[in-house]
Structure 1
Amino acid sequence: MGKDDISQSMYKKYSNLSDKTLDSVLESINLDGDIHKTQIPPLDQWQPQRCGKMDLCIHANHTWWHEGTQIQRDALIQLFSHILCKEESKYYLKTPVEKIEIEVEDAPLCIRGVEKSSQAEQTWIYFHTTDGDTVVLGEKNRMIMRAYKGEMRPYVYIRYGLYALIPRSVFFHLIEMGELIENDQLQTELVLQSGDFCLHLTA
């Protein structure tokens, strides 16, 4: 199947959201029971005209809340995270015909694991998100450090303007994969090599 065929297939799969409000999707999660097995839809190819806002917030601990009530169903969170993007500092749930603004306290995604893979004398570092996506540390998917409520936290870029938080336990595993050095400013740097990409990360 070619790239265009995949795009058309994803469009058909997600276009049935367009005749619903997102409130109705909340009540009918069985729409896509196998959502966690699907590819991320081509949100960059969708240019919806209708916009709105709903009372949906992703808290800093990565729980999702709708109108003050926590969403408990993992399949629904998977569905929403797959159609989530960030455009001009705002977060949206995006379908082919509309996009709905939501609130995100910190990073909308979270890393559940990291691993190394070696081939042909090169090693790559892979990040796995809680919503089933995988990215390779590199020029496109960089790690950064930024403050949240006075605490410096590590993040990695995933897709469509979205970053994922790297939890403390995963970050410790990542440190074991790299090398800690002291730079000319007497700061501690974490050096990570992934393919031809070398990252120097200063806390």
Structure 2
Amino acid sequence: MQLQQLLKSLELRNHAPTENWDPPYCGEIPIHIDSNGEWFYQNSRIKRQRLVKLFASVLVVEDGDYFLVTPAEKVKITVEDVPFIITGWQAVTTVEPQIIQVTTNIGTQYPLSDDYPLLVENAIPYVRLDHALKAKVHRNVYYQWVELAEVDPETDNVVLQSGSSRFVLGQI
């Protein structure tokens, strides 16, 4: 598989064209996403993954506030940290250099790259996704990456390589 084919296939994530819609703001609804990426409606966990994926497909962030946007309405929801969690990853070795492909808690996949970079904010690793959304890297994934990463002898940074991109996980 060529790099461009991989990137193209991973881009088929089915986010609605929310950028083309300008619906009226209709207030806040009792949906919230906790710090583990779990979605709740009126404090009851939403257990249907397909419903969570549907909501995620119309989720946008504007100035730190989160909204569900449809052609007819825009409603605010509450998000404790970020809406998604990176729960898995795999090394795609069919391209050189290998690429790290991450998977979120709703099953979407992204290549860790300059387009979807690893960011460390307040010692917490995140991956920036489409539409300015972010996913927090699960602790297990982070520890696996630390084992895979290499130390840059000049800076003592722990660096993770994905394709031609390098990301700092932390410092020794």
Asked whether 1:118 is paired with 2:93, we answer yes
Give 1:4's aligned residue: none
Deviation at 1:122, TM superposition (A): 1.9
| Residues 1:189 and 2:163 are matched in the alignment | no
Q: Which has the higher helix share?
A: 1
- Tell me how far 1:102 sits from its aligned partner: 0.4
Which amino acid is 2:164 matched to?
A: D
Q: What RMSD, in angstroms, separates the aligned Cα atoms of the two structures?
A: 2.2
- Encode CA deviations 1:45-70: one digit per residue, 9 max, x unaligned: 22223432111111112222222322
Residue among 57, 73, 80 paired with 1:98: 73
Secondary structure of 1:160's counterpart equals helix
Tell me how far apart the structure 1 counterparts of residues 147 and 111 of structure 2 sit (CA, whole Å). Answer: 17
Q: 2:114 aligns with which of 139, 157, 162?
A: 139
Question: 1:95, CA displacement in angstroms?
Answer: 1.0
Determine if the alignment matches structure 1 residue 87 to structure 2 residue 62.
yes
Contact kept, 8 Å, 1:114 with 1:173, in 2: the verdict is: no
SS of 1:122's equivalent? coil
1:202 is paired with a residue whose SS is: strand
Specify every segment of 5 or more residues in structure 2 that has no aligned partner in the other structure, as ranges.
1-11
Distance 1:51 1:180 in 2: 50
Alignment equivalent of 1:76, drawn from 51, 59, 66: 51
Question: What TM-score, normalized to structure 2?
Answer: 0.81
What is the CA deviation profile of residues 87-133 of structure 1, one whole-angstrom value per residue up to 9, with x for unaligned ones? 12110111122211000001110112111113453211111112121
Q: Distance in 2 between matches of 1:107 and 1:120?
A: 31
Identical pairs, percent: 30
Unpaired runs of 5+ residues, structure 1, are 1-36
The reply to whether residue 53 of structure 1 matches residue 53 of structure 2 is: no
SS in 2 for 1:40: coil
Q: Retained in 2: the 8 A contact 1:50–1:97? A: no
Following superposition, the deviation at residue 182 of structure 1 comes to 5.4
CA distance in 1, matches of 2:148, 2:20: 36
Q: Is 2:132 the counterpart of 1:161? A: yes
Is 1:114–1:174's contact at 8 Å kept on the other side of the alignment?
no
Q: How many residues align?
A: 160
Equivalent pair of 1:124/1:136 in contact (CA under 8 Å): yes
Q: Distance in 2 between matches of 1:190 and 1:45?
A: 40
1:51–1:98 contact (8 Å) kept in structure 2: yes
Q: Secondary structure at the match of 2:145?
A: helix
